[in-house]
A and B are shown apart, each in its own frame.
Chain A
Amino acid sequence: MAAAGSSSRFAVTCGLLSQYMRERQQPQPPVTVLEAVAEEEEEEDARTMQLFPPRAAAADGVATPSAGTAPLTIFYDGRMVVVDDVPVEKAAELMRLAGSACSPPQPAHAAALPEMPIARKASLQRFLQKRKHRITTTSEPYKKAAVASPAPEKSFAVAPVKDEPATWLGL
């Protein structure tokens, strides 16, 4: 943590105050913290999610039996299969089976990912397309005519032709 500013001191003090208040009023349930709308826990959701805690992935433990079915999504070899109405026991069995298959060792140098070109912001992309058209127009031998009739040029600005292949990046 960087050097504490005044805001951090305030937060730390509130933390201590919260701790003391909790000690004074023992039965008080703790307030959940999440985003700007922290609320008390929803017990039902918590119970449902607990069916698959992170550590269970490697465990051989028996899944908790649960009523009902749910869709099961399977990804294999770059393909995706969605099966509706799969019982929980069957899904758990499938996942255990999939987990037991040995995964191939990772190569020392990971295989090159497919090329992901760098993207350009949409508004700048539109400008560059318009610019290309304007430059093409003014460099034409009919430059005088283009100057004489500004209306077609304005229509470029309004409805640019998008013929340039897009290249992409997020920044």
Chain B
Amino acid sequence: MSSDTLTKSAAVPETPDGADLPRIVPQRRLGQWTAAVVVLVLLGLAVNSVLRNDAFQWGVVADWFTSDAVLRGLWLTLWLTAVVMVLGFALGTLLAAFRLSANPVLRAVSWGYVWLFRSIPILVQLLLWFNIGALYPQILGVKTVDLLGPVTVAVIGLTLHEAAYAAEVVRGGILAVDRGQIEAAQALGLSRWRRWRRIVLPQAMRSIVPPAGNMLIGTLKGTSIVSVIAVQDLLYSVQLVYHRTYQVIPLLMVATVWYTVVTSLLGVGQYYVEKHYARGTERTR
């Protein structure tokens, strides 16, 4: 090829279909293929060993999967997760507002709360609340043990724990909103509440939803810890069964599959919530 044709073809191809141009050959990705084959073989071996291992007793799993005891436990796990999320984020939002306020006392209180409740392991906290009667035998004239049953203790403990994390998530979301947005809203005379509700929160949600989705899934699984104070959630329900029947593995598989199913559904929900709050900010790919 003479240097003359080279310059010409670089500018505009002479022929419309560029027939005289060299063909582009993509690089061969041998490494990629090898890695894929190795991983698939390993995965196949793992799946095979699970399906062929009779000790899993998949028949027993199927028998218990939709039994009343398991469904009751699942239901408790679901509503406990929902209540803890709602209360935790409500308290967390309040704490975030405190932390971002101009009032140094509120800021310090919020900081102190987050510091304390992030420092105490949730298991330790639940046991403390469960035994709170030792500290305060009576609350408002009622015996503490009557007032705070295991389920109430679970809600309180998990909520206080959740709020500390939620506070940081919400605070991060609010800080991610451009300061100019608030100024523009102030310049337009929008009230404090309206600025928060209509301008700041919807924009903060974009950065709140992904970590909140993470927390929701974490909380769903984390509620299994309440089995230590004999609250009959999904885990404790299957434990009650296998303590009777000694079918430990298949019943743990019942819980495992349920947790996986619910987590997957939550992931789908998160996708749509994220899409909703991405209005007007879609990235062009």
- A, B: real partners: no
Residues of chain B touching chain A, judged by Cβ–Cβ distance below 8 Å, are none
